[in-house]
């Protein structure tokens, strides 16, 4: 089946949550397990009509937000507001299987879809973009997604729109990157575990930034969190397994120690167990507080069996064998 160009996948920020706010590196990948697209109520589709009407109602306040930016000349793209308003009146909604509040970029996919449909001069040819075009897209997406999250880096919708792994080297430098396959006989894997409840990004980011007002904690961010994050990314994309898991353990331990408000109670014991046994390591998936936790393991089958035995939903992201 051919891919629908108007469908957009969820995303996973493998590394960089929170630290990217202080210019660490980041690594984000599309996650095709979930996807979404703009649609219309009554468009010969079988869907939850209550969900569709709710989605339509949630999109409507975007109109005055865009209008206000346009009136002061601050809207960063030529967005066809008139067509958007007309489509809203005709039942426009966002048909999405991406769970909201789970760290998988539901609003990012929405922003990518809106830009694709309503931008009068969209930046396309995604495989041949210049660095300048990527920066421009990120700025556009940051502004659009800020309606949903108060502030946005623009990274989530950028990944959803480009549908390709992205290496964030700095605020100004983002590039396409390949994800190498581990060596033969490697039994490693990446997975998600479901904490069973959504999280809310804005209050957790505010809590983190408030904590960073402490010079002692900010020093830890710069001397421990950012180096371990960058090391994870560089060793992951270079396929240096030993160094990668060393850095990953440091990152997992840092988050377990300093990000407790972001870790749901159901995940605390499992997180600690991974650090103790080194059978797997957990980390935040997005801002945390709920949703999914992201896991890495050298022994995928055994770890999957263990989580299933505890009745915890376990979703594969990447499996080497």
Averaged in consecutive runs of 10 residues, what is the pLDDT profile of the chain (321 residues)? Answer: 75 94 93 94 77 94 96 96 97 93 91 96 82 92 88 88 93 87 75 91 88 96 98 95 96 97 93 97 93 94 94 89 55
What's the pLDDT at 190?
A: 95
**177 sits in which H/E element:** none
- Look at residue 183 in the predicted model and tell me its pLDDT: 66
- Tokens of residue 236, six digits: 């992951």
What are the backbone angles phi and psi of residue 93, rounded to the nearest 5°? Answer: -150, 175
Which residues have C-beta within 8 Å of that of residue 219, sequence separation ≥ 6? none
Residue 245: predicted pLDDT: 96
Cβ burial of 102 (10 Å; 0-12, 13-18, 19+) is buried
Of the candidates 229, 314, 230, the one whose C-alpha atom is nearest the C-alpha of residue 280 is: 314
pLDDT at 1: 39
Other CB atoms within 10 Å distance of the CB of residue 123? 17
Q: Write down the number of H helices and E strands in the chain.
A: 12, 9
């Amino acid at each position: 089946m051919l891919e629908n160009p108007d469908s957009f996948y969820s995303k996973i920020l493998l590394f960089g949550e929170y630290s990217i706010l202080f210019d660490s590196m980041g690594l984000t990948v599309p996650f095709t397990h979930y996807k979404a697209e703009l649609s219309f109520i009554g468009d010969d589709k079988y869907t939850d009509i209550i969900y569709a009407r709710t989605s339509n109602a949630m999109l409507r306040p975007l109109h005055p937000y865009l209008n206000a930016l346009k009136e002061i000349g601050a809207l960063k793209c030529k967005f066809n507001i008139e067509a958007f308003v007309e489509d809203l009146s005709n039942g426009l909604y966002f048909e999405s299987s991406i769970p909201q509040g789970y760290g998988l970029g539901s609003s990012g996919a929405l922003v990518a879809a809106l830009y694709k449909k309503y931008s009068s001069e969209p930046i396309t040819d995604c495989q041949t973009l210049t660095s300048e075009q990527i920066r421009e897209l990120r700025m556009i997406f940051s502004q659009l997604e800020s309606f949903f999250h108060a502030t946005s880096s623009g990274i989530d919708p950028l990944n959803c729109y480009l549908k390709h792994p992205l290496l964030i080297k700095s605020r100004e430098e983002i590039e396409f990157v390949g994800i190498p396959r581990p060596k033969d006989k490697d039994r490693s894997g990446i997975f998600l575990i479901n904490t069973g409840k959504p999280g809310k990004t804005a209050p957790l980011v505010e809590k983190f930034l408030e904590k960073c007002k402490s010079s002692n904690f900010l020093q830890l961010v710069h001397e421990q969190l950012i180096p371990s994050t960058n090391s994870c990314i560089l060793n992951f994309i270079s396929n240096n397994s030993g160094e990668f898991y060393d850095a990953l353990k440091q990152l997992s331990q840092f988050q377990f120690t300093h990000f407790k408000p972001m870790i749901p109670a159901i995940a605390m014991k499992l997180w600690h167990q991974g650090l103790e046994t080194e059978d797997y390591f957990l980390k935040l998936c997005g801002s945390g507080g709920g949703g999914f936790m992201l896991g890495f393991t050298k022994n995928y089958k055994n770890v999957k069996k263990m989580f299933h035995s505890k009745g915890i939903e376990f979703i594969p992201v990447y499996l080497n064998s």
